[in-house]
Structures are given as structure tokens and as C-alpha cells.
Amino acid sequence: NTTESIGTVETLADVPEHVLRGLPEDVKLFPSAVDKTRLGVWATKSILKGKKFGPFVGDKKKRSQV
């Protein structure tokens, strides 16, 4: 994490390796357009409606746990 005047900023170093490995080729993590302290998911080209990604790995969490 880096510290700026806005507080702690999420970086790629904070993202578990399995998440980075599981990203489709045309999907990247960059600073969020909504919250500059977090990473957001960005597509580098159009994704067709109905496109499925996976398999997903990791621990399933409830919304209240994240």
C-alpha cells in the first residue's frame, strides 16, 4: 500500500496471485473511476453480452465480509 493525502491506496501488490492469474486476457486492474483508493476492473476491448469467465478460485465470502 502507498500512503497519499487521500489515505491508503490499494495496489496490485494487495491482490492475491490467484485473482491476477484468473483474469481474462482483455480484463485488467487499474485505479477505480469510482473510488481512487481502490482498484477497478477495466476491459481493454468490448466484451460480448453473455460472455462467461472462469473457473473462479478462492474463498466464497458474504457481502458483509468484504
Q: What average pLDDT score do residues 33-59 get?
A: 87
Residue with cell 466484451: 47
| Whole-prediction pTM | 0.60
Q: Give the CA count within 13 Å in the CB-facing half-sphere of 22.
A: 13
Give pLDDT tens digits for 19-41: 888 888 889 999 999 999 999 99
47 and 39 Cβ atoms separated by less than 8 Å? no
Quick one: pLDDT at residue 5?
52
